[in-house]
Amino acid sequence: MTLPTVKVAAAHAASVYMNAPATSQKALSLIEEASRNGAELISFPESFIPGFPVWAALWAPIYNHEWFKRMAGNSIHVDGPEIAQVRAAAKRCSVFVSMGFSEA
């Protein structure tokens, strides 16, 4: 039995840290680039939008309140404009996208 092959792009890229609008725009650019290079599936890292909360593992929670506020303020809605733009880019490029994001 022969299984179909799929070209996958792992978006090993940094977020524009704690800046959801800028990170979303960066994602759109990466989707376009991966599509031009033949990718059929583009996979982004966990919490790409707005960025992975690495600080949560580095300091005690009492020292992270400002970071949590910043992350909450940059978290997005699954039915919000950022994901709508990702969906539109995926459709336009005829690709599938796996997007990690922090949901508000």
How many CB atoms within 10 Å of residue 13?
Answer: 14
Q: Is the peptide bond before 21 cis (omega within 30 degrees of 0)?
A: no
Query: What is the distance between the terminal CA atoms of the chain, rounded to a whole angstrom?
Result: 44
**Taking the domains of the chain in order of start, what are their residue ranges?**
8-98
Structure tokens at 84: 């709508």
- At 51-72, the pLDDT tens digits run 999 989 999 988 999 999 999 9
- At 74-83, the pLDDT tens digits run 999 999 999 9
Indicate the angle between helix axes 81-93 and 20-36, nearest 10 degrees: 10
Q: What DSSP state is assigned to residue 40?
A: S
Q: Which residues share a beta bridge with 49?
A: 101
